[in-house]
């Protein structure tokens, strides 16, 4: 694992400790290389005496798969070398989620390995598992796109909603990563809800592309994310003009995910709640229709470090190696 010292890396270690077929052989980091895992994350006691090693010290010939949890622009430079020695890669970062021409506009860098973008499978497992199974590189989805795409794809595919979508997203601060900034400071975050990156959040084109891949449509997404004063959890509320009644929408979601262990379609009157999903790889979904305006309202919730990052990465690893997708993953949250 490269980037093991971030929040997603720490959650991966927690999950891998309970995985019967995977072992964390190498723990790479940059700023904390040379430090003990237990000094940074005391809760990871089974790994407490392990040392974070420099990312570039990995001998990829000794491992079967590599998780990359690196800043945007770094994974793409490493993938060709990893693939050359037979490693399969799950990239938790952003480097394989979009077409090459989108990276400068949305992430601020020129993609160095555009040929690999066509080879990478988009890792929203429930919708793309056949492509994932045969892939060398899996692009783990962003946290916000995961509940949005899972909630809208069945409805767009069946023509039950229009393809102009407005998404309101709310995330806990762990989604911003471990680095301390003023916006992530307790004094700035506590007691408020704050929109950010309005009209320019990098998950906007990812939502559009993933929905297009899953449905064959060409959706337009307006996305406004917000930070809320909590650590874990994401809630997304998607609005689109309804072309069917609420029962038809709920039936479509239920049919799409009735066999999926990590997608839970809620009954009428229930709404998704990220608090009860903490520590799980589950996405909760609900659908309603505002009869006054004729608007479909699709709500999704996840643990952003679970189904939004590390949990989904383990789910994709399981698919890559032909294991049961639930191996090492929980569907029961830590509550209250």
CA 168 to chain CA centroid, nearest Å: 17
Written as six digits, the tokens of 122 are 């988009």
Among left, alpha and beta (phi > 0; psi -120 to 50; other), residue 73 is left
Question: Quick count: other Cβ atoms within 10 Å of Cβ 41?
Answer: 18
Q: Is 87 a catalytic residue?
A: no
Contact between 110 and 98 under an 8 Å Cβ cutoff? The reply is: no
Cβ atoms of 295 and 239 closer than 8 Å: yes
Which of 234, 329, 252 minimizes the C-alpha distance to 15? 329
Which of the following is catalytic: 132, 143, 152, 214? 143
Q: What does the alpha-carbon distance between residue 10 and residue 44 come to, in Å, rounded to a whole number?
A: 8
Active site residues: 143
């Amino acid at each position: 694992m490269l980037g093991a010292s971030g929040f997603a890396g720490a959650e991966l270690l927690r999950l891998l400790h309970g995985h019967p077929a995977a072992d964390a052989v190498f723990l790479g980091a940059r700023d904390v290389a040379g430090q003990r895992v237990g000094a940074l994350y005391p809760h990871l006691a089974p790994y407490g005496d392990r040392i974070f090693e420099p990312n570039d010290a990995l001998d990829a010939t000794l491992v079967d798969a590599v998780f990359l949890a690196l800043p945007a622009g770094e994974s793409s430079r490493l993938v060709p070398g990893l693939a050359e020695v037979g490693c399969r890669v799950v990239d938790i970062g952003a480097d394989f989620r979009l077409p090459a021409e989108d990276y400068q506009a949305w992430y601020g860098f020129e993609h160095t390995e555009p040929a690999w973008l066509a080879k990478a499978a988009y890792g929203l497992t429930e919708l793309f598992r056949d492509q994932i199974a045969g892939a060398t590189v899996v692009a783990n989805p962003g946290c916000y796109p995961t509940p949005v795409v899972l909630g809208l794809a069945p409805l767009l595919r069946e023509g039950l909603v229009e393809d102009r979508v407005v998404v309101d997203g709310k995330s806990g601060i762990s989604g911003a990563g471990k680095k301390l900034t003023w916006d992530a400071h307790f004094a700035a975050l506590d007691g408020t809800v704050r929109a950010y990156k309005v009209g320019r959040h990098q998950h906007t084109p990812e939502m559009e592309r993933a929905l297009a891949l899953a449905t064959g449509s060409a959706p337009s997404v307006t996305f406004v994310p917000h930070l809320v004063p909590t650590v874990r959890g994401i809630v997304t509320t998607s609005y689109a003009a309804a072309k069917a009644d609420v029962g038809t929408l709920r039936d479509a979601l239920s049919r799409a995910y009735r066999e999926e262990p990590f997608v839970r379609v809620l009954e009428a009157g229930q709404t998704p709640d990220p608090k009860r999903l903490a520590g799980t790889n589950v996405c909760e979904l609900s659908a309603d229709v505002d009869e006054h305006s004729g608007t479909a309202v699709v709500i999704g919730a996840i643990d952003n470090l679970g189904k939004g990052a590390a949990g989904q990465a383990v789910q994709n690893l399981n698919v890559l190696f032909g294991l049961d997708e639930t191996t090492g993953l929980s569907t029961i949250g830590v509550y209250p």
